[in-house]
Amino acid sequence: MSDYPPLTFNVPAPELRPGDTPDFSDVDIPRAGEARRPAVDVDPKDIRDLAFTIIRVMSRDGEAVGEWTCDLGDAELLEGMRHMMRLRAFDARMLMAQRQGKTSFYMQHLGEEAISCAFQRALQKGDMNFPTYRQAGLLIAQDYPLKTMMCQIYSNAEDPNHGRQLPIMYSSKEHGFFSISGNLATQYPQAVGWAMASAISNDTKIAAGWVGDGSTAESDVHAAIVFASTYKPPVILNIVNNQWAISTFQGIAKGESGTFAARGHGFGIPALRVDGNDYLAVYAVAQWAAERARRNLGPTLVEYVTYRAGGHSTSDDPSAYRPKEEGDAWPLGDPILRFKGYLIKKGIWSEERHVQTEAEIADEILTAQKEAEAIGTLSTGSGPSARDMFEDVFEEMPPHLIKQRQEAGY
């Protein structure tokens, strides 16, 4: 007989489930401007605290405060606003298109628009993102044609992927946007490898890997961080913590203590935790990490604290596992509303201009949608040929595929 009491098994659970009243009062939200901005060549062990705080720039009063305040000009700020608004409106339109049966599936960014839109600003032509399915802002912020995105979503004849991938699995080498896989976290070591290649080639380009809170649990994330800490390539390792992996709260991937950012510490990688709903903070932190990469100082791990305000995808119903009001109660607010408040306070934006811009963007999206749908949707118009399915398995089609294509009647 053991003298010890019986063991118990720990399964973390979120505090709130459907029917509960959202309450984030125990979430520690540091004041904007509180976190210090270290030099980019800082010793990682001297900034361990920055992996446990939340770096924030925009105050409640709509002002940019503290050492992370950045130098974006008025035109760039307004452009940033437009990017986020365009992404949100695009999502709304494509969600509706999915509900109308024009495509099979869609994934929106609601509440997370600031992260990919602001991050892209820190990159230069030639740099490479290895995104997940929720970073279309990286394309939008480069004025990637909305019509082309829609053609991909509709899998029509002008889909750059030739109808071979699920909707939103974009790819554009030209825009530094690596082909989205759909297999979670596989892109993380690839981003590190791409950055290793840049360093091996004595190039000046940098890479950015992206992963969600849930997927940080994948072995590939460990692999990526090991390789990043060993070879110190120019890579930014982004973790978008939107609190939910489909129905699973972030505590299942992370456990109930620490932060995702803090995982960089064991590897000697500088780690920052940032308010993902703060356009200015996201940009400032991305810029800091990019500067480190460009100056050959190696990788940086960044956790973006945000909230997935919508469903995981069109196949998901969040009301089944979390309170409906949770998103509204989220203490970091809405990225577009917060940025709007900041721009208005700064005197370069107004409610009227906001409404007017919304209307302009709606027109722009509708025009693109009409053009895309004139080519085809998943169920109508012209799509990629069945014959084309046999192409690109290899550069040169081997005999067995030629034979199968003939057998299929193409």
Partner 1 sequence: MPKMTMIEAIQSAHDTAMERDEKVVVYGEDVGFFGGVFRCTAGLQEKYGPTRCFDAPINESGIVGTAIGMAAYGLRPCVEIQFSDYVYPAYDQIVSEAARLRHRCAGDFTCPLVIRMPVGGGIFGGQTHSQSPEAVFTHVCGIKTVMPSNPYDAKGLLAAAIDDPDPVIFMEPKRLYNGPFDGHHENPVVPWREHELGEVPEGYYTLPLGKADIRRAGEAVTIIAYGTMVYVAEAAAAETGIDAEIIDLRTLLPLDLDTIVESVAKTGRCVIVHEATRTSGYGGELAMLVQEECFYHLEAPITRVTGWDTPYPHAQEWDYFPSPERVGRAMQQVMEA
Q: Does 4 bind partner 1 (CB under 8 A)?
A: no
Instruction: Lay out the site mask for partner 1 across 165-204 (x = CB under 8 A, - = otherwise).
Output: x---x-xxx----xx-x-x--x-xxxxxxxxxxxxxx---
Q: Which of 91, 220, 303, 373 binds partner 1 (CB under 8 A)?
A: 220
Collapsing DSSP to helix, strand or coil, 302 comes out as strand
> What is the C-alpha to C-alpha distance for residues 391 and 393, in angstroms, rounded to an integer?
6
Q: Which of 161, 247, 248, 357 binds partner 1 (CB under 8 A)?
A: 161
Residue 161 phi, psi dihedral angles, 5° rounding: -90, 5
Query: Binding-site residue total for partner 1 (CB under 8 A)?
Result: 48
Closest CB 305 distance from partner 1, rounded Å = 27
Cβ–Cβ under 8 Å, residues 245 and 252:
yes
Please identify, among the stretches 68-76, 244-252, 280-288, 390-398, the one whose residues bind partner 1 according to the rule CB under 8 A.
Answer: 390-398
Q: Does 398 bind partner 1 (CB under 8 A)?
A: yes
Q: Does 226 bind partner 1 (CB under 8 A)?
A: yes
Please identify, among the stretches 61-69, 222-230, 328-336, 337-345, the one whose residues bind partner 1 according to the rule CB under 8 A.
Answer: 222-230
Chain centroid offset of residue 299 CA: 18
> According to the 3-state scheme, what is the secondary structure of 108-165?
CCCCCHHHHHHHHCCCCCCCEEECCCCCCHHHHCCCCCHHHHHHHHHCCCCCCCCCCC
Nearest to 234 by CA among 392, 382, 128: 128
Q: Which of 124, 230, 356, 382 binds partner 1 (CB under 8 A)?
A: 230
Query: CA distances (Å), 57 to each of 66, 214, 328, 397, 402, in order?
Result: 6, 26, 21, 54, 58
Cβ–Cβ under 8 Å, residues 269 and 275:
no
Q: CB-wise, 48 or 162, nearer to partner 1?
A: 162
Q: CB-wise, 101 or 182, nearer to partner 1?
A: 182
Question: Rg for the chain (alpha carbons), in Å?
Answer: 22
Q: CB-wise, 84 or 207, nearer to partner 1?
A: 207
> What is the C-alpha to C-alpha distance for residues 190 and 99, in angstroms, rounded to an integer?
34
Please identify, among the stretches 133-141, 162-170, 279-287, 372-380, the one whose residues bind partner 1 according to the rule CB under 8 A.
Answer: 162-170
Q: Does 394 bind partner 1 (CB under 8 A)?
A: yes
Closest CB 101 distance from partner 1, rounded Å = 24
The residues that bridge with 208 in the sheet, in sequence order, are 129, 236
> What is the C-alpha to C-alpha distance for residues 262 and 8, in angstroms, rounded to an integer?
27
Collapsing DSSP to helix, strand or coil, 172 comes out as strand
Please identify, among the stretches 96-104, 221-229, 237-245, 351-359, the one whose residues bind partner 1 according to the rule CB under 8 A.
Answer: 221-229
Q: Does 382 bind partner 1 (CB under 8 A)?
A: no
Closest CB 389 distance from partner 1, rounded Å = 9
Q: CB-wise, 165 or 259, nearer to partner 1?
A: 165
DSSP letters, 49-103, are GGGTS-B--B-TTS-B-STT-----HHHHHHHHHHHHHHHHHHHHHHHHHHTTSS
Nearest to 135 by CA among 219, 216, 238: 238
Q: CB-wise, 82 or 162, nearer to partner 1?
A: 162
Q: Does 133 bind partner 1 (CB under 8 A)?
A: no
Instruction: Lay out the site mask for partner 1 across 343-362 (x = CB under 8 A, - = otherwise).
Output: --------------------
Residues of the shown chain interacting with partner 1 in the complex, contacts defined by CB under 8 A: 128, 130, 160-162, 164-165, 169, 171-173, 178-179, 181, 183, 186, 188-201, 207, 219-220, 222-224, 226-227, 230, 391-396, 398-400
